[in-house]
Amino acid sequence: MPTDKKNDTTVDNRDLDNIELSSYSNSNTVDLEALEEEYDQYKKEEEIEYISGNYLNSSPTQNINVTSNPKYEEYKKLKHLDQSYNYVSTEYLDTDYLIPAHNENIITFKEYYNHSLKEYFTFNAAKNYALSIFPIIHWLPFYNFNWFISDLIAGITIGCVLVPQSMSYAQIATLDPQYGLYSSFIGAFVYALFATSKDVCIGPVAVMSLETAKVIADVSSHFQNDPDVTGPIIATTLALLCGGIAAAVGFLRLGFLVELISLNAVTGFMTGSAFNILWGQVPGLMGYSKLVNTRQATYKVVIDTLKHLPDTKLDAVFGLIPLFILYVVKWWCTNYGLQLAEKQFSSNERYRFYLKKFYFYTNAMRNAVVIIIFTAISWSITRNKSSSERPITVLGTVPSGLKDIGVFKPQTKIVQKIGPQLPASIIVLLLEHIAIAKSFGRINDYKIVPDQELIAIGISNLVGTFFSAYPATGSFSRSALNAKCNVKTPLSGIFTGGCVLLALYCLTGAFFYIPKATLSAVIIHAVSDLIASYQTTLSFWNMNPLDTLCFLVTVLITVFSSIENGIYFAMCYSCALFIFRSAFPAGKFLGRIEIAEVINATPKDDFQMDNFNGFETSEYNNFPADQSYGKFDIANKNTHKYNSPHCSKNFYTKWVPFDHTYTKELNKDVEILEPPPGVIVYRLSDSFIYLNCSRHFDTIFDEVKRKTKRGKFIGNIKKSQRPWNDPGEWEAPTWMTKKFSIRNLFKRKQEAESNVPNEDASTDLDISNNKDIDMDHRPVLQVICLDFSQVSQTDNTALQSLFDLRKSVNSYADRQVEFHFCGIISPWVKRGLIKLGFGTVNEAYSDASTIVGHVSYHIVKNPTFRNKSFSSHTSEDTISDMNIEAKDYNNYSIEAASGTNYPFFHIDIPNFSKWDV
C-alpha cells in the first residue's frame, strides 16, 4: 500500500484523489508555490496573446521563455525533471498523483536472439528439423486396423479413377498413355512418406499436363532433326528441374513465397487453363483432332473447332454419349437421387444409409465404368482390323510393365531451352498443390505445413525421373473424392499406386481398344469443375472489386494469349497490388468522442433522452478506483438486469477517424470533436516502411499547414529571406503602386471587409504592408501524436523520414513540437525511435520546459487474488480453479503501464483535452 510521505500514514489505494505529492517544505532555497503562480501567469499571457491575435503592440514571435527565469533551474531540480522524468500535470487535479516509477530499457540484439533466434540454433532444433522432413514417423506408430480399412477403400477407389485420368492427361501432354501411369504410381508412393495432408492425391493433372505440352512443343521446335530429343525426355527433364527447385524451396523453409500470389489470381489462370483444355479436347471428341492445331491461342482453337464441325466422324458417338452419361450420373448421385432417397425412405434410416453409399461409389466409379462399357463396344467393332479399317480412333498399344525404368541423364541443351518456360511451370506445380492442400486442411481440421508439402512434391518429382515420369502435382477432383471416401492417413497413396501398377501389368491389352473420344469426354468432364462459376465471380465482386478485375483479366489473357502470360499477369498483379497497398496506406487523422459500455441494454427505436437511466459522465482520470467499471456484485448479478451494476458508468475518450461516415466505423450521426488547438493525432494503418514513409510525411505536414499557422509571422521576414515555395501573399512593387494606385485599391478592399469607413483617405497607415498584423487566428502547432498500434515494423528510411518531419514542423512552428507515440507493439520500432531522439527528454528536440503540464502516464490496476494472479495463470486454468470472489477485487496494486523514463511513449492515446495546451 502506498503511504503519505508527509504524515507517514497508510493511504487506501482506492482513494487516489487524496494522495499527495511528497512535500518539499524542507527546502528553503525557493518558494515553490510562488514560482508556480508566476509560471502559470506567464502561460496565460502567452495563450491570450496567441489566441486573440493581438500583435499590434508585440511581435508574435516573441514567445515567453520560462527558462530565462533564473529560479526555473531550481524549479527543475526540485521537480527532478532531468533525472526522473516523472512529470505530472497539476492543472486539472487537486493534488499530484504518486505513481511507481518504471525505467524501461531498449531492446538489445541479445534479447532478440534469446527471444526469436536461439531456439533455432540448438541440438533439439536440428533434431526436430530432421524429424519434420518425415511426418510419417509421428503418426505411423499409431496406425490401426480401422485406419487400414478406410485407407484401403479410399486407395482402391482413387486408383480406379486415376488409371483412366492418367492416360487422358498424358494425351493432353502429347505423351503416350504409359507416361501418365508412370507419373501416377510413383507420385502416390513417394508422397505418402513426406505428406502433411491425408486427402491430397498426387499425380498428373490437367493444367500441368497442358503446360508440359507447351514446353515440349517449344523445345522440340529447336531440335526438329535431333533424334535424341523426344517428348518424354523433355517432360522428364522438366520434372527434374521443377522437383529440384520445389524441394530446395521446402528445405530452406521459403514456402511463404507461394503466398505472394492471391487466391483470385490462382482461380483466374486455372479457369482460363480449364477453358483452354476443354476446347482443346472438343476436336478429339468429335473425331477430327488432326485438323485443328490445339497448341495455338484458345480463341483460335474455338474458331477452328467450330469451322470443322462438318468433319465430325463416328467418334462423336463414343464421345458425346459418354459425356452425357457422366453428367447425368453425377447429377443423379449428388443431387436428385439423394433427395428422392430422403423422401422415399424417410422412416427407414438403414435403407437411406445403404442407398447413399451406393450413390457415392457409383458416382466415384463413373469414369471407370463408362470407359469399360465403351471399350467393350470399341473392341467389338475394331478387333482384327487394321488402323485404316477401324471406324473410330482407339488408344493403341500401351507397353506392359515398367519398360522405361533407369537413371535419367539430363541433356544440357534441353535444360537451356526449358529455362524460359520454367517459371510458369513451377508456379503451376506449386500453387495448385498448396491451394488444394490448404483447402482440405481447413475443411477437415488438420494443419498443413507448406514447406513440407513443397518437399513432398519436390521429392516425388525427383524420384519420378527414374521412371520417366512427367511433372505431377495435387489434383482437386481426386482429392475431393479421397476426402469423401473418409481416408484416414496419407498411406492410402500406397494402395492407389498399387492399383496403377496392377493396371500396368495386367490391363494394358485392354487399354489398346479404349476410344480416344471417350478419353476426351472424361477430360472435358473433369476440367469443367475447374471453371469458376458465376457465383464465384459475384463473390469476388462483393468482397473486393479489385480482386474481381484481376480474376477477369487473367482469364481473358489466358484465353486470348497463353497460359504463361496469364500466370505472369496474375503474379505481377498480386505483387503490384501488395506494393500499392503498402505504398498508399490509409492513414487517418483522428478526433475524439466520449463513449461508455452498456451491458444487457435494450435498443429502442423511439429512444428519448428522458429514458436515459442514470449514466454518470465522469472525467477519465478522476473516477474512484473501485468504480472505474461500475460495481462488481457477483452475489446479486441477476438482480439488476438492465441497470448500472451491469454497465460502465464512466464515459471516456475514444479517438476515431474523421471520415467515419465512409468507413462505417462509427454512427454517421455522431459528431466528432476536434483535438485541442495545436494538437494533431494521426493513426498509421500499416507498417511504416520505405514504401510509404514519404506519403505519410506529406500527409502529416499538409495537415499541419492546414490546421496550424507558422510560429513566425511571414510578414516579419524580409522578402529576400523568405522560402521560395512559401513567399507569403503577393505585394505590388513600389513603382507599380505609385503608377496604378494599387495601394488605394488594397486599402478599399480592407475597409470593405472590416465595414469601417475610410474617414481619412490620406492616412499613412498601409494595411497591405503592415508586418505587425497577423490576421491568422489558427493555433501554433504544439503536439503531434502518432498512433503506432498497427505498425509492426519499420526501417531506416522511414525513421529518417520521421526525423526529417520533426525538423520540418519545428521550423514551421518555430518551436520544439512534441512528438508523442502510442501503442508501439514492436520493441525494435521503439529502439529506433529512441536512437533518433524520440520519446526522451533532450535539449535538441524536447527539453524539459516544453512538457511541463503536457505529460500524462497510464497506470494499471493490477489485481492480486488469494490463490492465483492473472499474471501467473495458464491456458489450462479455468474460472472455477481461480476461486475469484467479489472482495478479492479490493486487493490490487498500482503499476506504471509503460516506462516513466520515456514520457512521450504511451499505451493509449492521451486525453489531450486535459492537458495545458
The separation between CA 544 and the C-alpha centre of its own chain, rounded to angstroms, equals 14
The answer, yes or no, to whether residue 395 has pLDDT greater than 50, is yes
Burial of 752 from C-beta contacts in 10 A (0-12 / 13-18 / 19+): exposed
Higher pLDDT among residues 184 and 406, named by residue:
184
Burial of 581 from C-beta contacts in 10 A (0-12 / 13-18 / 19+): middle
Among residues 439, 467, 518, 375, which one has the least CA distance to residue 184?
A: 467
The answer, yes or no, to whether residue 719 has pLDDT greater than 70, is no
Among residues 551, 536, 456, which one has the least CA distance to residue 135?
A: 456
pLDDT at position 286 = 92
**Alpha-carbon distances of 95 from 17, 22, 88, 92, rounded to whole Å:** 7, 11, 10, 9
Alpha helices (runs of H) in 195-262, residue ranges in sequence order? 206-220, 231-251
Domains of the chain: 137-531 (no CATH), 585-596+650-713+776-865+891-916 (3.30.750.24)
Cell, residue 33:
508555490
The separation between CA 520 and the C-alpha centre of its own chain, rounded to angstroms, equals 41
- Across 183-187, 266-270, 466-470, 716-720, least confident range: 716-720
Cell, residue 811:
521550423
The model's pLDDT over 126-146, given as tens digits with 9 standing for 90+, comes to 888 888 899 999 999 999 999
pLDDT at position 246 = 93
Mean pLDDT for 75-98 is 42
The answer, yes or no, to whether residue 522 has pLDDT greater than 50, is yes
The model's pLDDT over 285-317, given as tens digits with 9 standing for 90+, comes to 999 988 888 888 889 999 999 999 999 999 999
pLDDT at position 285 = 92
| pLDDT tier at 46, thresholds 50, 70, 90 | low
Cell, residue 361:
461409389
| pLDDT tier at 114, thresholds 50, 70, 90 | confident
pLDDT at position 640 = 35
- Across 110-119, 407-416, 577-586, 881-890, least confident range: 881-890
Amino acid identity for residue 888 in this structure = D
- Across 217-221, 467-471, 753-757, 794-798, least confident range: 753-757
pLDDT averaged over the chain? 78
The answer, yes or no, to whether residue 61 has pLDDT greater than 50, is no
The answer, yes or no, to whether residue 14 has pLDDT greater than 50, is no
Q: How far is it, in rounded angstroms, from Cα 295 to Cα 299?
A: 11
| pLDDT tier at 38, thresholds 50, 70, 90 | low
Q: How far is it, in rounded angstroms, from Cα 478 to Cα 157?
A: 10
pLDDT at position 738 = 60
Is residue 215 within 8 Å of 239, Cβ to Cβ?
Answer: no
Q: How far is it, in rounded angstroms, from Cα 210 to Cα 727?
A: 66
| pLDDT tier at 699, thresholds 50, 70, 90 | very high
Residues β-bridged to residue 4: 9
pLDDT at position 859 = 86
The answer, yes or no, to whether residue 491 has pLDDT greater than 60, is yes
pTM of the model: 0.70
Mean pLDDT for 887-900 is 73
Element (H, E) at 10: strand 9-10
Mean pLDDT for 810-833 is 91
pLDDT at position 716 = 61
The model's pLDDT over 785-794, given as tens digits with 9 standing for 90+, comes to 999 998 988 9
**In this structure, what DSSP letter does residue 135 have?**
T
Mean pLDDT for 631-645 is 36
pLDDT at position 27 = 39
* Beta strands at 652-657 and 679-683: parallel, antiparallel or unpaired: unpaired
Burial of 157 from C-beta contacts in 10 A (0-12 / 13-18 / 19+): buried
Sign of the CA dihedral with 279 first, then 283, 284, and 290 last = negative
How many CA atoms lie within 13 Å of 265's alpha carbon, on the beta-carbon side?
Answer: 23
Return the number of other C-beta atoms located less than 10 Å from residue 161's C-beta. Answer: 25
Is residue 627 within 8 Å of 596, Cβ to Cβ?
Answer: no
**Alpha-carbon distances of 211 from 64, 270, 297, 519, rounded to whole Å:** 76, 12, 13, 19
Cell, residue 237:
527433364
pLDDT at position 494 = 93
pLDDT at position 477 = 82
pLDDT at position 44 = 55
The model's pLDDT over 591-621, given as tens digits with 9 standing for 90+, comes to 988 888 887 777 877 777 666 655 544 443 3
Contacts of 597 (CB under 8 A, 6+ apart): 647, 648
The answer, yes or no, to whether residue 501 has pLDDT greater than 60, is yes
Residue-by-residue DSSP string for 622-660: TS-GGGBTB---STTTTT-SSSGGGB----EEEEEETTH
The answer, yes or no, to whether residue 674 has pLDDT greater than 50, is yes
| pLDDT tier at 737, thresholds 50, 70, 90 | low
| pLDDT tier at 324, thresholds 50, 70, 90 | very high
Return the number of other C-beta atoms located less than 10 Å from residue 80's C-beta. Answer: 12
pLDDT at position 613 = 58
Mean pLDDT for 467-491 is 88
Higher pLDDT among residues 516 and 724, named by residue:
516
Q: How far is it, in rounded angstroms, from Cα 513 to Cα 397?
A: 9
Is residue 139 within 8 Å of 178, Cβ to Cβ?
Answer: no
Residues β-bridged to residue 683: 588, 787
pLDDT at position 833 = 93
pLDDT at position 518 = 92
Mean pLDDT for 313-324 is 93
Residues β-bridged to residue 673: 592
pLDDT at position 541 = 87
**In this structure, what DSSP letter does residue 105 have?**
P
Angle, helices 349-364 vs 366-382, to 10°: value is 50
Burial 779-812 (b: 16+ CB within 10 A, else e): bbbbbbbbbbbebeebbeebbebbeebbeebbeb
Cell, residue 842:
533532450
Return the number of other C-beta atoms located less than 10 Å from residue 291's C-beta. Answer: 13
| pLDDT tier at 479, thresholds 50, 70, 90 | confident
pLDDT at position 725 = 63
Q: How far is it, in rounded angstroms, from Cα 192 to Cα 189?
A: 6
